[in-house]
Amino acid sequence: MTITARKRRRSGASPRDREVNANRIPQMPWRQPRNPYPAMKILSDDQVEAIHDASMRVLEELGIELMSAEARALFRAAGADVDEATGVVRIDRALLAELISTAPSEFTLTSRNPAKRLVFGGDHMAFGMVAGPPSVHDRINGRRSGNLPDFENFTRLAHHFNAIHIIGNQVCAPMELPANSRHLDTYNANLTLSDLCFHTTSIGKGRAMDGIRMMAISRGMTLEQMAEDPGVTTIISVNSPRRFDGEMAEGLIAMSSSGQAVAVTPFTLMGAMTPVTLAAGLTQQNAEALFGIALTQLARKGAPVFYGSYTSNVDMRSGAPAFGTPENAKANIASGQLARRYGVPYRASPTNASNAADAQAAYETEMALWACMLGHANLHYHAAGWLEGGLCASFEKLVLDVEMLQHKMAFLEPIEVNEGELAFEAMKEVPTGGHFFGSPHTMERYETAFYQPLVSNWANHENWELAGAKDATMRATEIWQTALDEYEQPPMDAAIREELDAYIAKRKEEIGSGEP
Amino acid sequence: MTITARKRRRSGASPRDREVNANRIPQMPWRQPRNPYPAMKILSDDQVEAIHDASMRVLEELGIELMSAEARALFRAAGADVDEATGVVRIDRALLAELISTAPSEFTLTSRNPAKRLVFGGDHMAFGMVAGPPSVHDRINGRRSGNLPDFENFTRLAHHFNAIHIIGNQVCAPMELPANSRHLDTYNANLTLSDLCFHTTSIGKGRAMDGIRMMAISRGMTLEQMAEDPGVTTIISVNSPRRFDGEMAEGLIAMSSSGQAVAVTPFTLMGAMTPVTLAAGLTQQNAEALFGIALTQLARKGAPVFYGSYTSNVDMRSGAPAFGTPENAKANIASGQLARRYGVPYRASPTNASNAADAQAAYETEMALWACMLGHANLHYHAAGWLEGGLCASFEKLVLDVEMLQHKMAFLEPIEVNEGELAFEAMKEVPTGGHFFGSPHTMERYETAFYQPLVSNWANHENWELAGAKDATMRATEIWQTALDEYEQPPMDAAIREELDAYIAKRKEEIGSGEP
């Protein structure tokens, strides 16, 4: 049985369905978490300023190669020093400060379901799906190329699990579809199988505009209305060191000029794309990110934008990228200090470099995730399903990630201290050496007192063995299967559905989807 | 092949040995980590005071059942209200504050190797082995009862891995040995196979005194000298709610009156041994811990003592203990706030409740461990090898833990920001879109720039598959085997060795070790 052949849950609630409902996978309700504690600081204020200063020297003296004439024209018009022969743009710190000053410190993204509006900035957090892997894996069907049925199932899971707030740019690439129209199919799946915000593909203007237009259709809005109330975002990577790709720059301009959000994220793997030190990696990241943020504001003042960090290290023996390392954790915290220096919402990624959804995947993810949380990342990108350093989307890892994300959400709920919670009277009633299982204080609260796990199994060894001695990864397989059974497609107005279909058909014709 | 039959590494360095040395397991050098960042606070100052106040009411109005006449006599002499009929001791807040005021805010433990002296208090951290499991597991030999050969191998690994600073109380119980003299065999293994500090067994005075005397012999010191320069510690659990066992109380008195360290740790699993709320769990923990700390100071003013926290929750559906939960993480941080309120070094535990050394074991351990670190735990007890909620010592989990502990040590090394680290000149030399692999700046630093992993595998998928597609747990099996091969027994003076042997022989005769 392939996973795509699994029975969809019937609409209409038969008695059996109701029974299934009562035994649904336990999960926390949908809500956007907030971090009530101060952000951790691992750089002193002086160190932040030293990194800022060095990054300004990078922008002033070395510059960024910007491979788009349109983007260069925007910088030139603003007064930057543009060398058309090399494409290098140099920008002094006063002009840079002026340009980025219009970036908002907080903004919202709203999907077709206003109840799932997301706030970015301040102490708000959102967790996003993995984006971009060419491959897919689960323990039943093994490893294969990304494809639309898997994409659709990942999208169903993103909708089903409340800990996932936003869908990334192609949770896996549907390799069987024509390369220059597949974005239409993935946007369609995002919009019809979930009601979450999602990331557009911004390699060039066309793909970005399709995402914006399709979100606008699903919300029943004009582009002008959506420019004031954005609904999609995108990741703009920088080809570090100091090179800004032309299609990426133009995708950025399309998104920003339409008022949609952009996360400018330098690809700063220390030892490869930056010098081998954290101070230099952060400096280069800062220069490249601020340059991209300036471009968003040149495209449209006040356009929503994230300060993106992806700084980690490579394995210096092999050049392989590493994530969830101590250096990556430090970068995740320090980058938050930098983002807040400029008053721009902060995007980071709780990722790992494991080849399996195993203990390594878990401890590396936790390293990165704790640091993202402590560093007050607003957008936790790639937070669910990421494996193999981003080359594979994993169904089991997605389930493990939901548990890890829910752990953080429960952890961030402050401790209540009041007479009822202090429970002096309950302590008085239980004798020394007794227990509180039957205490009225316990009975009133036990159902919601503690986080109820999704994956963790706390049975004793004998019962665990009797139940098949399944490790966490094996249990995760059962959970994503059950989740797909439980999944219910969010309703969509038939007229909107038709309008979307017509848009996709028209665009496929324009693009010419017969090509390979 | 059983693990105990594995070849010990020869002394004398043949050419082959030197080759082995060059390929030794990568690990960080032995050092005690310090936490340079402020401790996290998740309770407001008012909340800390409310919990303090409620715990004082517990001690004043409800009292603690203290099942040792000797210990009760100490409290009575100090002016506490002692009910001999019930064994309940009530102590008012003024007297309690006076008694605990003599507990030192910092102390040292010194083993037979002065280079491995440990500091407890302030920002100092130490990681300890798991203690107490009745069972043992590894992937080659499966699950079995604790036994001396396994105990010895765990002790070798504790000595070998630099991230482990202290040995707990019986990393596994050697069940084949007579119950009331086996502590002599485990102390002997601790002292001869490692040069680390260790925990004594303090069920009754005799076992505690044997540990103190054997450490004194190994250090060539008198008991009087060691009282001024302690070398062992112990865990004194409280049988929560509000019951202090007689043998534990007398073991505490033996240790404290000998000037050795004690960690008073209430067994406060919320929902079972305390009310179901964090405020109440922390209140009860605080009352019970401070009561035990007061007893240490009654035994000897200035005796070194830890404020111990073990507060976690149970699964309210089954009553099973859970660790590494969001509630446990919050308790680990809040307990640090309480310990620091009283100026007493803080002991906590980065534990988990998994039945396998799998992803659950890793993410639960990380939850608890990050919280221990953020809460400035000084002693991280049970930090290596703990599985099954403490019922099993795992060789693979030990290796995974060493990686997780080293991650924290590397994370806590502050970022350096200076001209060399900012690397502006190196950035200038590398063209846009280039790379830094061959840069002189990289070549000077690459060997030590990043943490080198013990378990993590960052190979690409194809190479990982070619190498056998081993997950982290499978690789951990290879690592502990290699570590046992690499292990070198620390030398011990022959006269001390003889004195230890004679002590053990005499004590076994006194105890009568022929009994079951």
Q: What is the pLDDT of residues A470-498, one digit of tens each?
A: 999 999 999 999 999 999 999 999 999 99
Element (H, E) at B82: strand B81-83
Give pLDDT, residue B15: 41
pLDDT digits 0-9 by tens, A365-412: 999 999 999 999 999 999 999 999 999 999 999 999 999 999 999 999
Contact between chains at A359 and B359 (C-beta distance less than 8 A): yes
Distance CA B113, CA B190 (A): 13
Mutation for A interface: B88, B314, B360, most A CBs within 10 A? B360
Contact between chains at A355 and B469 (C-beta distance less than 8 A): yes
Q: Which chain A residues touch B337 with a CB distance below 8 Å?
A: none
Q: Read off the tokens for B411.
A: 């994370």
A460 touches B at CB < 8 Å: yes
What's the gap in Å between the CA of B85 and the closest CA on chain A? 14
Residue B86 φ/ψ, nearest 5 degrees: -100, -15
Residue with tokens 């409800």: B62
Tell me the pLDDT of chain A averaged across its residues.
Answer: 94
Contact between chains at B270 and A450 (C-beta distance less than 8 A): yes
What's the gap in Å between the CA of B466 and the closest CA on chain A? 12
Q: Read off the tokens for B150.
A: 């396994």
Residue A122 φ/ψ, nearest 5 degrees: 55, -135
Is the predicted pLDDT of residue A21 greater than 60, yes or no? no
Nearest CB partner across the interface for A403, out of B61, B354, B363: B363
Mutation for B interface: A51, A64, A363, most B CBs within 10 A? A363
Q: Which chain B residues touch A389 with a CB distance below 8 Å?
A: 458
Q: Which chain B residues touch A370 with a CB distance below 8 Å?
A: 366, 370
pLDDT digits 0-9 by tens, A87-109: 999 999 999 999 999 999 999 99
Query: Between residues 85 and 144 of chain B, which touch chain A (CB distance below 8 Å)?
Result: 88, 135, 143
Nearest CB partner across the interface for B427, out of A46, A62, A239: A62
Give pLDDT, residue A161: 98
Q: Are A365 and B406 in contact (CB under 8 A)?
A: no
Count the neighbouring beta carbons within 10 Å of the beta carbon of residue B23: 9
What's CA A315's distance to the chain center, in Å?
25
CA dihedral A471, A472, A478, A479 (to 10 degrees): 160
Q: Are B251 and B205 in contact (CB under 8 A)?
A: yes
Is the predicted pLDDT of residue A142 greater than 80, yes or no? yes
A362 touches B at CB < 8 Å: yes
What's CA A386's distance to the chain center, in Å?
10
pLDDT digits 0-9 by tens, A431-476: 999 999 999 999 999 999 999 999 999 999 999 999 999 999 999 9
Contact between chains at B275 and A364 (C-beta distance less than 8 A): no
Mutation for A interface: B456, B462, B464, most A CBs within 10 A? B456
In A, minimum Cα distance to B409 occurs at A326
Nearest CB partner across the interface for A442, out of B271, B363, B367: B271
Contact between chains at B276 and A449 (C-beta distance less than 8 A): yes
Q: What is the mean pLDDT of residues A360-368?
A: 98
Distance CA B488, CA B482 (A): 12
A vs B: CB pairs below 8 A: 388
A489: which DSSP letter?
Answer: P
Contact between chains at A319 and B64 (C-beta distance less than 8 A): no
Give pLDDT, residue B328: 98
Q: Are A454 and A123 in contact (CB under 8 A)?
A: no
Give pLDDT, residue B2: 39
Query: Between residues 323 and 352 of chain B, which touch chain A (CB distance below 8 Å)?
Result: 325-327, 329-330, 334
Is the predicted pLDDT of residue A350 greater than 80, yes or no? yes
Contact between chains at B65 and A421 (C-beta distance less than 8 A): no
Give pLDDT, residue B23: 72
Give pLDDT, residue A22: 57
A39 touches B at CB < 8 Å: no
DSSP string spanning B210-241? HHHHHHHHHHT--HHHHHHS--EEEEEEE-SS
Give pLDDT, residue A23: 73
Element (H, E) at A386: strand A386-387
Q: What percent of chain A has pLDDT over 70?
A: 95
Is the predicted pLDDT of residue A270 greater than 60, yes or no? yes
Give pLDDT, residue A487: 98
3-class DSSP assignment, residue B347: strand
A145 touches B at CB < 8 Å: no
| E-assigned strand segments in B338-454 | 346-348, 379-384, 386-387, 392-394
pLDDT digits 0-9 by tens, A190-229: 999 999 999 999 888 999 999 999 999 999 999 999 999 9
Contact between chains at A407 and B461 (C-beta distance less than 8 A): no
Mutation for A interface: B276, B376, B430, B445, most A CBs within 10 A? B276
Give pLDDT, residue A516: 33
**Residues of chain B under the 50 pLDDT cut:** 1-20, 514-516
In B, minimum Cα distance to A329 occurs at B411
